[in-house]
């Protein structure tokens, strides 16, 4: 599928969750468009990002660690003397352990909130003064369509944390608009990444695809396309939105 082209030369970005499906795709797409990217994940650096050379600096660490986050984002700014973009992508969906709030272990609830929501608070707090110093910029935060509807098999910590991601994004959009900093969220539908390792047969993937009006499962590149558009100057009049990228799945509800 042809992908749109963007010019991100002389811009710098921080992308979290870069060791996973969407974060890796967003990092590679930004680097291909000319940006210098600091890619953060708790996992080791994927080969694809090593192959990107000097365009990608990898910072391995836990986004729950405020000191690590502050240092990694500060280093991104210091390397280039500017920071233009923050893509908050990292997140977890714990099948089996994250259930109805009436029965989930509260330690699981707290951990999901810390990874999915507080980590984005930490990165946003670290990045905002640097985006201001640069003279403006943009953020995208990855949520999900899942929080907008009920589920017979609930994962309430996930749902609540992702609803909060959209609320956080809108509040940042309002607070930072006067500084020329935009903030938007992306709400993906089903997307084939390591997070969805449970879709491990052609038959299962076929069933999921069949349920989607556009008749396919989303790809990490679909989400990268959305992220690059929202970060780009082409979206310079867009802030505070939740962009649904789900092949039409919400239409079914």
Ligand X SMILES: NC(=O)c1ccc[n+]([C@@H]2O[C@H](COP(=O)([O-])OP(=O)(O)OC[C@H]3O[C@@H](n4cnc5c(N)ncnc54)[C@H](O)[C@@H]3O)[C@@H](O)[C@H]2O)c1
The site for ligand X (CB under 6 A) is made up of 17, 19-23, 41-43, 62-64, 89-93, 115, 119, 142, 144, 188, 190-191, 193-196
Q: Are 15 and 39 in contact (CB under 8 A)?
A: yes
Token output for 140: 């995208």
Residue among 52 and 142 whose Cβ is closer to ligand X: 142
From the number of C-beta atoms within 10 Å of its C-beta (0-12, 13-18, 19+), residue 174 rates as: exposed
Whether 158 is catalytic: yes
Q: Are 114 and 120 in contact (CB under 8 A)?
A: no
Instruction: Say how far apart CA 71 and CA 85 lie, in whole Å.
Output: 16
DSSP reduced 3-state for 182 = strand
Name the residue whose CB lies closest to ligand X.
20
* Strand (E) or helix (H) holding 107: helix 106-113
DSSP reduced 3-state for 117 = helix
Residue 165: CB minimum distance to ligand X, A = 8
Whole-number CA gyration radius for the chain: 17
Residue among 55 and 93 whose Cβ is closer to ligand X: 93
From the number of C-beta atoms within 10 Å of its C-beta (0-12, 13-18, 19+), residue 107 rates as: exposed
Q: Which of 85, 158, 211, 237 is catalytic?
A: 158
CA contacts within 13 A on the Cβ side of 35:
30
Residue among 35 and 166 whose Cβ is closer to ligand X: 166
Residue 232: CB minimum distance to ligand X, A = 20
What is the dihedral sign for C-alpha 112, 71, 132, 37? negative
Residue among 196 and 225 whose Cβ is closer to ligand X: 196
Residue 217: CB minimum distance to ligand X, A = 8
Residue 86: CB minimum distance to ligand X, A = 14
Cβ-proximal residues to 80 (8 Å cutoff; 6+ apart), any chain: 12, 36
Residue among 62 and 179 whose Cβ is closer to ligand X: 62
Residue 144: CB minimum distance to ligand X, A = 4
What amino acid positions are annotated as catalytic residues? 158
């Amino acid at each position: 599928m042809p992908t749109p082209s963007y010019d991100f030369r002389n811009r710098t970005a921080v992308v979290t969750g870069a060791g996973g499906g969407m974060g890796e795709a967003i990092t590679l797409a930004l680097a291909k468009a000319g940006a210098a990217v600091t890619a953060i994940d708790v996992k080791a650096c994927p080969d694809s990002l090593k192959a990107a050379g000097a365009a990608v600096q990898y910072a391995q660490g836990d986004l729950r660690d405020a000191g690590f986050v502050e240092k990694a984002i500060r280093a991104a700014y210091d390397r280039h003397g500017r920071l233009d973009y923050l893509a908050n992508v990292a997140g977890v969906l714990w099948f089996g352990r994250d259930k109805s709030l009436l029965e989930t272990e509260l330690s699981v609830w707290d951990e999901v909130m810390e990874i999915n929501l507080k980590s984005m608070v930490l990165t946003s707090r670290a990045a905002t003064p640097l985006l201001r110093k640069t003279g403006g910029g943009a953020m995208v935060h990855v949520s999900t369509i899942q929080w907008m509807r009920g589920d017979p098999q609930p994962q309430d910590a996930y749902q609540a944390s992702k609803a909060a991601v959209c609320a956080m994004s809108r509040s940042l959009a309002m607070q930072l608009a006067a500084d020329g900093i935009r903030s938007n969220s992306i709400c993906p539908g089903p997307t084939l990444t390591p997070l969805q390792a449970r879709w491990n047969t052609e038959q299962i993937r076929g069933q999921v695809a069949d349920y989607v009006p556009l008749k396919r499962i989303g790809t990490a590149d679909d989400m990268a396309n959305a992220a690059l558009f929202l970060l780009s100057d082409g979206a310079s009049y867009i802030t505070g939105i939740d962009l649904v990228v789900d092949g039409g799945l919400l239409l079914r509800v």
